Structure 1
Amino acid sequence: MKIKLTTIYVDDQEKALGFYTDVLGFTKKADFTNGAFRWLTVVSPDDPDGTELQLALNDNPAAKTYQQAMFKQGQPALMLFSDDIKADHERIKANGGNFAMAPTAVTGATIAQLNDTCGNLVQLSQLARW
């Protein structure tokens, strides 16, 4: 058994696609519509058959309330792992990413947080090498 898909709610799917591809560097995997519904996923270019991230529209009131509450509390909706967080931080900043927290050493890791411009905080983490 393995995780194939996880979902993040966004307030604008087209804007989210731009952020997750142009700023973070992911690749669009699936994009199709059925009436008003749009199924949109991205993947890591390093693992195109790996776990997909669904960029789901937060048109569900429960999803929207959850998304807004997490953002207001400063809680990331998504955690991504990096082998070189400082290089990723610089690359993402150069691509227009807006960091709420620059790379910061914490117990067991270095973390950074950025705003995905679609209602979420995204945390980058690089685990400490023991």
Structure 2
Amino acid sequence: MTISLRYSQITVNDVDESLGFYRDALGFTVRNDVANGGYRWLTLGSDAQPGLEIVLSEPHAGRSQADGDAMQELLTKGVLPIMVFSTDDLDATFERVRAAGAEVLQEPIDQPWGPRDCAFRDPSGNTVRINQAV
């Protein structure tokens, strides 16, 4: 028996605005664009991990009003779980994402626990870290 991660959810305020960050700045490819019940979500992926997709959706997509409101509150506070991506060239990735206009939280540094990494905020305020193994 095998088990692997298939989807990872990122809650965003605006799917189209976030698409500019995740597709254009980070380089992910749109795999699926779904509209259902007045909401829309996207899945994006990377050739480096063909079996894994990131799902971008708004707080109320597929949730009750109360749950969507709770997710919106957490998103607004900036306390949803962070995403950590890996790259084989951190400095080039950092420059690409910064040039796309993303808010820089931390420039590339060598962390005492091993990786070299940097951090940004996506357009919805989610923290996105990018690292490169040393």
- Considering the TM-score relative to the shorter chain, is it more than 0.5? yes
Residues 51-73 of structure 1: per-residue CA shift (max 9 Å, x gap)? 1000010231222223233x26x
Alignment of 1:46 with 2:48, yes or no, is: yes
* RMSD, aligned α-carbons: 1.8
Give TM-score, length-normalised by structure 1: 0.84
Q: Distance in 2 between matches of 1:85 and 1:114?
A: 13
Give the direction of change, closer, same or farther, for the CA distance of 1:68–1:77 in structure 2 (3 Å limit).
Answer: farther
**Distance in 2 of aligned mates of 1:120 and 1:96:** 15
1:61 corresponds to: 69
Q: Match for 1:30 among 19, 23, 32?
A: 32
Matches within 5 A, 1:1-130: 1-47=3-49, 49-59=50-60, 60-69=68-77, 71=78, 77-107=82-112, 108-128=114-134
Q: Is the 8 A contact 2:8 2:55 kept in 1?
A: yes
Instruction: In structure 1, list runs of 5 or more residues that go unmatched.
Output: none
Shift of 1:76: 5.8
Q: What is the aligned-residue identity percentage? A: 31
Contact 2:118 / 2:130 at 8 angstroms: preserved in 1? yes
5+ residue gaps, structure 2, are 61-67
Q: Write the distance in 2 (CA, Å) between the matches of 1:67 and 1:77.
A: 11
Residue by residue, what CA displacement relative to the aligned partner does 1:3-61 show, whole Å, maximum 9, x if unpaired? 000101001111111211111111101101112121311111433x3210000102312
Cα distance in structure 1, aligned partners of 2:51 and 2:133: 20
